Amino acid sequence: MKTGDDKNRKYYILSRVAAVLAGVLGLLLLYLVGRYNYNLFHSFVDGVSIVIAVCAFTIIWNSRRLVDNNYFLFTGIAFLFFAFLDSIHLLGNKDMGIFPGYGNLGPTFYIAGRYVLSISLLIAPLFIKRRLNSTLMFAAYSLATSLILLSVFYWRVFPACIVEGVGLTPFKVISDYVICLILLGATGLLVVNRESFDPRVLRIIVFSIALAIATGLTFTLYTDPFGITNMVGHLFQIASFYLVYLAFIETSLTKPQEILYRKLKQDEIKLTNTNVELQQEIAERKQAKEALERSRATLQAVLDGAPGGVVVVDMAGKTLLASAATRLIFGGPVTADAHGPPGGYSVSTPDGTPVPAGRLPLTLALQGQSVADAELTITRSDGTQAIILASATPLRNTTGEIWGAVTIFQDITERKHSEEAVRKSRDELEIRVEQRTSQLRESEETALRQKREIDAYYDSSPIGLCAFDRDLKYLRINQRLADLNGLPPSEHIGRTVQELLPQPLAGIIEPALRQVMETGEPITGMEFTAAAGGLPGVRGTWLQIINPLKDETEQVIGVTVAVQDITELRHLEEQLRQAQKMEALGTLTGGIAHDFNNILAGIIGFTELVLDDELPSGSP
């Protein structure tokens, strides 16, 4: 037994020696870095101080229920706000260039952060045995921090701490001495209350404050921000914060029992009261169970009123909650299996491939995977089908274990039918445009005789029309498209879209024009959303058809463009997807189809008129 203790003691000594050597080497390395690049050294030291302060807050905050000494919680919260001010101190140095209108803010926020931290360390011993209201603490520190920021950036009344070309101001030097006195007072209060701390932890905290005092005294001596005195002060600072970090870890993580054992006698008294509290807790749990049942009934009522389907299952696939809409979509109960009960439903992909049980969104969620917007086809027992979007998410308890899953279904059958109708209409439009384009080539003489009539139709068309030459410069444009671009037709001729149209609209259109010009292949059904030049700030959705303009030898000599505003159509489609009742969906779908047919009639009629006219001989 003694041999084992000796080995542990040797290991402890060796580990401490190694830690000291590592610290010395680290400080030496920092010194060399500072001599090479002071800005890098300064940023690293302040960055480490900030990280340590945030880590100290994080550790003590998350272990606050283990530590009965609220001194640590008080100082942990103080470290969080100190880290914020120290971050601005780091960013506010003149070489960072982040606050160019405020001069060198580094010393200013250094002093502000040191005041906050030193005063906090002075007040913290008062809460060793007192209860701490963390919400009130956060509010107080937030107010103090806000006042500091306002005094610097808004009111600009915070005293200057350094004057360029002169050095430190009396306020800064005096403040450093005042802060050192405050820290000495904080050390005295710690010694007075030493029985509330583990001896080793107390020593570490006292040494850390001593190094903080040394930091402040050193910073009163430098005249050059890049000098050796300033560098030594920063080395004291990082050593001080390392001890802070070590003290907080020592208390919160590695030795919380040092405080718990000291309070064992108090815990015995608490144990007597625990029995009474336990009886009260049993009664409260009974009330909570009743409240849970009421909440479950309320939740079921809410789900039944929702337009989408919602299903909650446990790990065995047993349905815990299911909305009325879900039962309507599936024609019966929903299970985690691919098929429901006899005469139930089956699940397949949009192309008709059956979905195995192991690949269902609900099953995947029970395995820990999240599924978003999986499109599936449900075949009910009566042969009818529904197209749905399914999203599933695993449900976890406080320890992260999966205890069930929730799936949300959205019936998109009507929407898919509407999209299919729109697609077919678009295909028919493309076919008709191709047919009329062919007829246009065969009707050149007729087009020449009817040129005047075409010009009238061209300029009065509700659809934007234009033509480009080989260099993608405007040859012709009607009034409708010119109005959308915000310029008269005459100012378009001979200019490119890059010269006339705003970005990103020009960046969308020009590549498409160049593609048709180079390949000779038309682009039909090109849809994009952008703000027109004639309507600044108003974004619309446009359907654009681009065709090559060829001569008798089938050489591409330009391109023609037809632009249709389909913003309202897209709004109608969005309303169609959001409708909550199938009757409303059907009515809206009919309206959209009717409006789209009217648009197609206008496009087809005008295109026929354009294609039937002749161009004058010699026209490009």
User: What pLDDT digit, counting tens, does each position of 18-60 carry?
Assistant: 655 655 666 566 666 655 666 777 788 888 889 888 988 988 8
Q: Are residues 208 and 316 in the same domain?
A: no
- Look over the chain and give the mean of its residue pLDDT values, rounded to a whole number: 78
The answer to whether position 596 is within a domain reads: no
Give the domain-ending residue among 237, 254, 271.
254
Name the domain count of the chain: 3
**What percent of the chain is modeled with pLDDT above 90?**
15
Lowest mean pLDDT among 233-237, 254-258, 494-498: 254-258
Residues 33 and 152 in one domain: yes
- pLDDT tens, residue by residue, 205-227: 999 999 999 988 888 876 655 56
State which of 279-283, 394-398, 432-436, 611-615 shows the largest mean pLDDT. 394-398
The CA distances from residue 438 to 37, 262, 351, 443, in Å, are 74, 97, 36, 9
224 shares a domain with 326: no
334 lies in the same domain as 226: no
Neighbours of 383 (CB within 10 A): 6
**Mean of the pLDDT values across residues 4-16?**
61
Instruction: Collect all residues with Cβ–Cβ distance below 8 Å to 479 and sequence separation of at least 6.
Output: 459, 460, 489
Percent of the chain with pLDDT over 70: 75
Residues 344 and 493 in one domain: no
Mean pLDDT of 285-303: 75
CA dist., res. 55 & res. 80, Å (int) = 9
259 inside domain = no
Q: pLDDT category, 616, cuts 50, 70, 90?
A: low
Same domain, 482 and 407: no
Does 281 fall in a domain?
Answer: no
Domain CATH for 326: 3.30.450.20
- The better pLDDT of the pair 88, 604 is held by 88
pLDDT at 14: 65
- For residue 267, being part of any structural domain is answered with no
**Angle, helices 70-92/38-62, rounded to nearest 10 degrees:** 150
Is there a single domain that holds both residue 314 and residue 250? no
Q: How far apart are CA 199 and CA 258, in angstroms?
A: 10
Region 555-569 average pLDDT = 87
Whether residues 59 and 145 share a domain: the answer is yes
Backbone angles phi, psi at 290, to 5 degrees: -65, -40
The verdict on 36 and 181 lying in the same domain is yes
Cα–Cα distances in angstroms (integers) from residue 323 to residues 21, 302, 328, 382, 392, in the given order:
66, 8, 9, 21, 15
Is pLDDT above 80 for 394?
yes
State which amino acid sits at residue 115.
Y
Threshold 0.85, pTM exceeds: no
Residue 514 lies in a domain: yes
Give domain status of residue 425, yes or no.
no
Answer yes or no: do 350 and 495 share one domain: no
For residues 402 and 545, membership in a common domain is answered with no
How do strand 319-322 and strand 162-163 relate by DSSP bridges? unpaired
**Confidence (pLDDT) at 575:** 72
Which among 217, 239, 254 is the end of a domain?
A: 254
Q: Tell me which residue range forms the domain holding 345.
A: 309-411
Q: What is the CATH number of the domain that holds 77?
A: 1.20.1070
- pLDDT (mean) for 234-254: 76
Task: Answer whether residue 38 is part of any domain.
Answer: yes
Residues 246 and 117 in one domain: yes
Q: Does residue 55 lie in a domain region?
A: yes
Q: Residue 353 has what pLDDT?
A: 84
